[in-house]
Amino acid sequence: MDAAPIGVVGTGYVGLVSAVCFAHLGHDVVCMDVDEAKIARLESGEVPIYEPGLEKLVADNASRLSFTTSYDVLLERCHVLFIAVDTPPSPSGDADLSRVQFAVREIAARGGQRLLVMKSTVPVGTGEKVMADLDGMGVTDITYASNPEFLREGAAIQDFLEPDRIVIGSFREEDGTTVEALYRGIDTDIVRTSVPTAEMVKYASNAFLATKISFINEIANVCEQVGADVRTVAHGMGLDHRIGPHFLQAGIGYGGSCFPKDVQALKQLAGNTGYHFQLLNAVIEVNALQKRRVVGKLKDRLGTLRGATVALLGLTFKPNTDDLREAASIVLAGRLIHEGAKVKAYDPMLDAGEHPLFPGVAICDDSLEALEGADAAVLVTEWQEFGRLDWRVAASAMARPLLIDGRNFIDPAVAADAGLEYEGVGLGDEALAPVAR
């Protein structure tokens, strides 16, 4: 089994990064995807997603990587199959497992001894259900392990190769051992456990991180009322080892393809068992309201937004990725247009013109073009280049030099020097004082 290449089903942000990193560790990897255009690009040496360092790693490991759209080709060579297809939210809030089920059926239909390793984020109980379904189909040669992925887009390669931990759940000890062996060369804690526990580690981790974000955002909102500075509050909190400094940056809320859907799915999962996960309701509600607070801040300063021009800086859900799934910018742009504002935007990953996720928004070639003549700007995504912008020039290009900094990214003192009217998140009276670090 060991000498055969690893198969990876789904070559998106997780599948492609995992495949390339396994190749980097010395394995041959067959990458399979149903998206023909994506596979054609990969076959021609192009990388279809933006992830720092990925293009080079693909090129460096080209001899160990192959790409196909065919399950037959995949199964001809591979026994260990990582499933990394998307598991988007369904209208009920449950994770939509149709792509996982499709992949499992295709694999089962072709027979042979296989070990399925679930990398996609799937609800607790999925492993047991997949095995029961296979049993019902009379398939007995397929075994199953859960190996949830924790990488962050934008830092995915480092996260995969230097993870905080590797979690492996399996029904059979030897399957867990097979999966563990594939990670040889990575020095980290390995958590070996049951399949449901591994599935839960992933959901609990994402739900906890989302809770941290909503928590600090609520602290920020109170800071605005009482004249405290959330940046220093977070710094002071984070020095406590029981709390830690990470994920305490106040802002306009979490987005992306994972936190919103995973928090919702865990809430739904608990609800399906009859348990009301109260805390997660608050986490979700706080996150939704946080985006709307930006609109409130604009209205407080501009009065009505009807006819006002607002520039959005950054549209991706976070910097260093081209991923727009569940980005805060989508809700924000929609709200502003609904309020009658004219919206211009700039993001380093998006071409100028129109984008289907941002109907009515004029996407510009650069920041200054977006800011030209604007009555206000909102910094939505903290791309480094916004830190390097000449804010004096930016301020003089705007009709009103108002900057709502949704990420507390621009130093308020720099903003004041540039002549900007500045408002961040959770910055009370101390906003213009230097931040203690």
Ligand X SMILES: NC(=O)c1ccc[n+]([C@@H]2O[C@H](COP(=O)([O-])OP(=O)(O)OC[C@H]3O[C@@H](n4cnc5c(N)ncnc54)[C@H](O)[C@@H]3O)[C@@H](O)[C@H]2O)c1
Positions annotated as catalytic residues are 258
Burial of 148 (0-12, 13-18, 19+ CB in 10 A): buried
Say how far apart CA 362 and CA 283 lie, in whole Å. 32
Using rule CB under 6 A, residue 149 touches ligand X: yes
Which range touches ligand X (CB under 6 A), out of 55-63, 146-154, 193-201, 384-392?
A: 146-154
Using rule CB under 6 A, residue 268 touches ligand X: no
Which residues make Cβ contacts (< 8 Å) with residue 312, sequence separation at least 6?
329, 332, 333, 343, 344, 345, 346, 361, 370, 377, 378, 380
Per-residue DSSP letter, 365: S
Which range touches ligand X (CB under 6 A), out of 84-92, 166-174, 305-313, 337-345?
A: 84-92
Q: Where are the alpha helices (DSSP H) in 254-381?
A: 259-272, 278-302, 328-338, 367-371
Q: Is the dihedral of CA 49, 51, 56, 60 positive or negative?
A: negative
Using rule CB under 6 A, residue 41 touches ligand X: no
Using rule CB under 6 A, residue 77 touches ligand X: no
Using rule CB under 6 A, residue 103 touches ligand X: yes
* Minimum separation from the CB atom of position 233 to ligand X (A): 29
* Minimum separation from the CB atom of position 94 to ligand X (A): 13
Using rule CB under 6 A, residue 123 touches ligand X: no
Contact 412, 424 (CB under 8 A): yes
Which range touches ligand X (CB under 6 A), out of 149-157, 165-173, 209-217, 282-290?
A: 149-157
* Minimum separation from the CB atom of position 257 to ligand X (A): 5
Burial of 374 (0-12, 13-18, 19+ CB in 10 A): buried
Using rule CB under 6 A, residue 320 touches ligand X: no
Which range touches ligand X (CB under 6 A), out of 79-87, 181-189, 193-201, 377-385?
A: 79-87
The single residue among 8, 33, 228, 344 that binds ligand X, judged by CB under 6 A, is: 33
Contact 292, 221 (CB under 8 A): no
Per-residue DSSP letter, 378: E
The single residue among 6, 8, 14, 313 that binds ligand X, judged by CB under 6 A, is: 14
Per-residue DSSP letter, 165: E
Q: Which residue is nearest to ligand X (CB)?
A: 12
Using rule CB under 6 A, residue 18 touches ligand X: no
Using rule CB under 6 A, residue 232 touches ligand X: no
Say how far apart CA 240 and CA 422 lie, in whole Å. 30
Count of residues for the chain?
437
Using rule CB under 6 A, residue 19 touches ligand X: no
Using rule CB under 6 A, residue 86 touches ligand X: yes
Enumerate binding residues for ligand X (CB under 6 A). Answer: 9-15, 32-35, 38, 84-87, 99, 102-103, 120-121, 149, 151, 153, 257-258
